[in-house]
Amino acid sequence: MSATILKIIPTNSTYAPEAILQDKAKTFLAKFYENKQIEIDTTDAIQFVDQGANFDSVFCNFCGESIEIKDWQNAMDKAYEKQFANLDFTTLCCNRKTSLNDLTYDMPAGFAKFQIKILEPIAEIEEKYLKELQQILGTTLRIIWARY
Ligand SMILES: [Zn+2]
């Protein structure tokens, strides 16, 4: 059986909102995702927040060239050794400095110390509610659809 998880993370990989704001966010989301399991995770180290089986490819965020999976994997392995504290990545296509967090993932993925997970959400979060959630948490957010 496959599972779908809607993950919501800050766009800034090092940001974790205060506990009180996390509670507010959970209460807010529980209004739309009634009877759905909502989990909030905060970790000391940055985690790769993956999209599971929705992983297809990775592209340069500057020129749109696709990035070889083996190059990306090498960079991921190196970054993992330092618990993703350093996400620097230099693109081979256009030789520019970027971050593993800023590359274009198809479908989206990211890095975070804080994540909200909604299990089998059915519906997408509406734009206006996402904006409200961003205000509650004091950060811009990234939506990740994961399938396992
Ligand atoms: Zn490029």
The residues, any chain, with a CB within 8 Å of residue 110's CB and separated by 6 or more, are: 9, 11, 13, 48, 49, 101, 142, 144
The string of pLDDT tens digits covering residues 1-49 is: 789 999 999 999 999 999 999 999 999 999 989 999 999 999 999 999 9
Ligand 1 centre distance from Cα of residue 146 (Å): 26
User: Does residue 145 surpass a pLDDT of 90?
Assistant: yes
Ligand 1 centre distance from Cα of residue 43 (Å): 31
Ligand 1 centre distance from Cα of residue 14 (Å): 25
Task: Please tell me the predicted confidence (pLDDT) of residue 90.
Answer: 97
Task: Please tell me the predicted confidence (pLDDT) of residue 1.
Answer: 72
The string of pLDDT tens digits covering residues 45-95 is: 999 999 999 999 999 999 999 999 999 999 999 999 999 999 999 999 999
List, in sequence order, every beta strand (DSSP E) within 13-121.
38-49, 57-59, 88-90, 97-99, 104-106, 110-119
- Taking the mean position of all CA atoms in its chain, how far away is CA 39? 14
Residues whose beta carbons lie less than 5 angstroms from ion ligand 1: 60, 62-63, 65, 91, 93-94
Q: Quickly state the pLDDT bin for 123 (edges 50, 70, 90).
A: confident
Ligand 1 centre distance from Cα of residue 96 (Å): 7
